[in-house]
Amino acid sequence: MDNFNRSICRLNTSSWKWKTANEHQLSFSIADSDYQTAPEIIAAIKKRCDHGIFGYTFVDDEYLEVLVNWVSRRYHYQIRKDWIIPCIGVIPSMAFSIEALTEPGDKIVVQSPVYDPFYAVVTQTNRTLVVNKLLRTENRYVMDFDDLEKCFKDGAKMMILCNPHNPVGRVWDQAELDRLVALCKQYQVILISDEIHCDFILAPKPFISIGKYLSEYDRVLICTAPSKTFNLAGLQNSNIFIPNPRFRAAYSKAAARHFIQSPNVLALTACKAAYALGEPWLEAQLEHLRKNYAFVKEFLVKELPMVKIADLEGTYLVWADLRFLNLTCQEITDGLLEQGMIIKAGETYGEGCNGFIRLNIACGINQLKAGMGMLKSFVLIHLNK
Ligand X SMILES: Cc1ncc(COP(=O)(O)O)c(C=O)c1O
CB nearer to ligand X: give 194 or 199. Answer: 194
Beta carbon of residue 88, minimum distance to ligand X (angstroms, whole number): 8
Q: Which of 57, 77, 91, 176 binds ligand X (CB under 6 A)?
A: 91
Applying CB under 6 A, which part among 66-74, 76-84, 127-135, 225-233 lies near ligand X?
225-233
Residues in the chain: 385
CB nearer to ligand X: give 114 or 320. Answer: 114
CB nearer to ligand X: give 223 or 273. Answer: 223
Applying CB under 6 A, which part among 68-76, 85-93, 150-158, 274-282 lies near ligand X?
85-93
Beta carbon of residue 93, minimum distance to ligand X (angstroms, whole number): 8
Applying CB under 6 A, which part among 61-69, 89-97, 142-150, 199-207 lies near ligand X?
89-97
**Helix residue spans in the chain (DSSP H):** 39-51, 61-70, 90-101, 117-123, 145-153, 174-187, 245-257, 265-277, 279-303, 329-339, 365-383
State residue 259 phi and psi, 5-degree precision. Answer: 55, 35
Q: Which of 85, 161, 196, 343 binds ligand X (CB under 6 A)?
A: 196
CB nearer to ligand X: give 109 or 325. Answer: 109
Angle of helix 279-303 relative to helix 365-383, nearest 10 degrees, comes to 20
When asked if residue 97 is in the footprint of ligand X (CB under 6 A), the reply is no
CA gap 41, 20 in Å, rounded: 28
Q: Which of 34, 40, 99, 194 binds ligand X (CB under 6 A)?
A: 194
Beta carbon of residue 117, minimum distance to ligand X (angstroms, whole number): 7
Q: Are 243 and 218 in contact (CB under 8 A)?
A: yes
* Interface positions, 142-181, toward ligand X (CB under 6 A): 162, 166
| Nearest partner of 166 among 65, 61, 31, judged by Cα | 31
When asked if residue 321 is in the footprint of ligand X (CB under 6 A), the reply is no
Applying CB under 6 A, which part among 47-55, 86-94, 103-111, 344-352 lies near ligand X?
86-94
CA gap 95, 157 in Å, rounded: 15
Site track for ligand X across 105-134, x = CB under 6 A: ----------x-------------------
- Percent helix, strand and coil across the chain, each rounded to 5? 45, 15, 40
* Interface positions, 234-273, toward ligand X (CB under 6 A): 238
When asked if residue 227 is in the footprint of ligand X (CB under 6 A), the reply is yes
49 DSSP 8-state letter: H
| 357: three-class secondary structure by DSSP | strand
CB nearer to ligand X: give 315 or 339. Answer: 315
* Interface positions, 14-73, toward ligand X (CB under 6 A): 31
| Nearest partner of 198 among 221, 223, 168, judged by Cα | 223
Q: With CB under 6 A as the rule, give the number of residues binding ligand X.
A: 13
Angle of helix 365-383 relative to helix 329-339, nearest 10 degrees, comes to 120
Nearby residues of 252 by Cβ (< 8 Å), 6 or more positions away: 85
Site track for ligand X across 286-305, x = CB under 6 A: --------------------
When asked if residue 90 is in the footprint of ligand X (CB under 6 A), the reply is yes
Tell me the torsion sign for CA atoms 169, 287, 223, 44: positive
CA gap 77, 67 in Å, rounded: 12
Q: Which residues of the chain form contacts with ligand X (CB under 6 A)?
A: 31, 89-91, 115, 162, 166, 194, 196, 225, 227, 233, 238
